[in-house]
């Protein structure tokens, strides 16, 4: 049997870390779950075991066991002697880095398939200055009034992924710059960031700068190589490798010229091999490459000349290998 569940708008909501639902509901003592739900409902606050006992009906001794359990699971942190009069804080620390993945604290209070009604959205916006600011500014960025589907999408990003309004606006501006204003695309980008733990405004801004620089590099390489069509996955693989290796557009362009001079066409593998050889030789600029490719002077006492430079040797070997494969 399947259930279509909708959450009534009863007022205040609070966050339950996804890791609790994913990993602890099946086998964890139900009283431990009750204690955690009450603690999380109170936010970061000072509580005592007798207050929790009054609200949950659980004995104080078992409350201490429950608190110890969730502390050990790094869901909460506490301060205070023997947890009496303890200060509850949601865990943000991880075992490996000292910073627990933010996704464990993201609210997933609504399923992706559950939607607010238009009247519920209107009430939410009226009661939330941040949501009102979000909708107003999104409409300004997009240059239009957002419809019901778009409203649901932005609220989904806000509630499900836990992005604050400024971060969502930053994502929207980024997508707008790509010419992608469909809410489905914006949600896809938000999901991509969320799954890589890029959730704070600072981290989102840093990632957008990186992506924009990456796109600019792709466009410059495409222009230098005379590629007017959409870049293929294979082309992108090589281009991203060069970008990650710190190869300048100018040097890649020069390698392209050498490739065309020898083969009469663009061969990405050829260009990549030339660039790799240059990198191994410590060649990082076009000037260095040109100097390296100049004919070497005849050595005194030698009966033969070294007029053939290294790139010529490489070109012959490359073409010979391709011929043999054919």
Which residues of the chain does CATH 1.10.10.10 include? 18-105
What average pLDDT does this structure show over 147-156?
A: 92
CATH number given to 118-211: 1.10.10
CA dihedral 169, 175, 181, 182 (to 10 degrees): -100
Instruction: Decide: pTM greater than 0.95.
Output: no
pLDDT in tens, 230-273: 899 999 999 999 999 999 999 999 999 999 998 899 999 999 99
At residue 113 the predicted structure's pLDDT band, cuts being 50, 70 and 90, is very low
pLDDT in tens, 212-222: 999 999 999 99
Mean pLDDT of the residues in the chain:
80
Q: Is 43 left (phi over 0), alpha (psi -120 to 50) or beta?
A: left
pLDDT in tens, 220-232: 999 999 999 989 9
Pick from 271, 277, 269, 279: which is nearest to 244 by CA? Answer: 279
SS3 of 135, please? helix
The DSSP secondary-structure symbol of 103 reads G
pLDDT in tens, 33-73: 999 998 888 776 677 778 888 889 999 888 888 888 888 88
The C-alpha atoms of residue 51 and residue 69 are separated, in whole angstroms, by: 19
| Multiple choice CATH, 18-105, 3.40.47.10, 1.10.10.10, 3.40.190.170, 1.20.1250.20 | 1.10.10.10
Q: At what angle do helices 118-127 and 129-142 cross, to 10 degrees?
A: 110
What average pLDDT does this structure show over 17-32?
A: 87
Q: Copy the structure tokens of residue 37.
A: 């739900």
pLDDT in tens, 77-108: 776 544 433 444 443 333 333 333 333 433 33
% of the chain exceeding 90 in pLDDT: 46
Residues in contact with 163: Cβ distance below 8 Å, sequence separation at least 6, in sequence order: 157, 171, 190, 194, 199, 204
């Amino acid at each position: 049997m399947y259930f279509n569940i909708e959450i009534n708008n009863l007022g205040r909501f609070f966050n339950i870390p996804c890791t609790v639902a994913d990993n602890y509901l099946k086998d964890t003592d139900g009283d431990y779950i009750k204690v955690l739900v009450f603690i999380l409902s109170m936010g970061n606050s000072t509580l005592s075991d007798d207050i929790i006992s009054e609200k949950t009906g659980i004995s104080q001794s078992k409350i201490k066991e429950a608190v110890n359990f969730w502390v050990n699971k790094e869901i909460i942190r506490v301060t205070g002697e023997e947890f009496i009069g303890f200060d509850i804080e949601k865990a943000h620390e991880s075992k490996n880095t000292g910073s627990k993945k933010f996704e464990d604290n993201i609210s997933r209070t609504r399923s992706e398939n559950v939607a607010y009604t238009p009247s519920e959205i209107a009430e939410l916006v009226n009661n939330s200055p941040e949501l009102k600011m979000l909708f107003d500014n999104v409409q300004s960025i997009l240059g239009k009034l957002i419809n019901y589907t778009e409203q649901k999408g932005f609220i989904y990003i806000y509630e499900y992924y836990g992005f604050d309004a400024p971060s969502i606006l930053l994502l929207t501006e980024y997508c707008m710059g790509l010419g992608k204003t469909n809410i489905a695309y914006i949600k896809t980008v938000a999901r991509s960031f969320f799954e890589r733990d890029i959730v704070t405004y600072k981290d989102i801004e840093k990632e957008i700068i990186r992506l924009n620089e990456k796109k600019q590099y792709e466009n410059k390489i495409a222009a230098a190589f005379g590629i007017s069509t959409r870049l293929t996955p294979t082309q992108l693989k090589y281009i991203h490798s060069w970008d990650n290796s710190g190869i300048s557009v100018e040097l890649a362009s020069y390698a392209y010229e050498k490739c065309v001079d020898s083969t009469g066409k663009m061969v990405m593998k050829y260009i990549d091999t030339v660039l790799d050889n240059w990198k191994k030789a410590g060649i990082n600029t076009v000037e260095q490459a040109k100097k390296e490719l100049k004919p070497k002077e005849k050595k005194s006492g030698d009966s033969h000349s070294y007029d053939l430079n290294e790139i010529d040797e490489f070109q012959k070997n490359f073409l010979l290998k391709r011929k043999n494969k054919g």
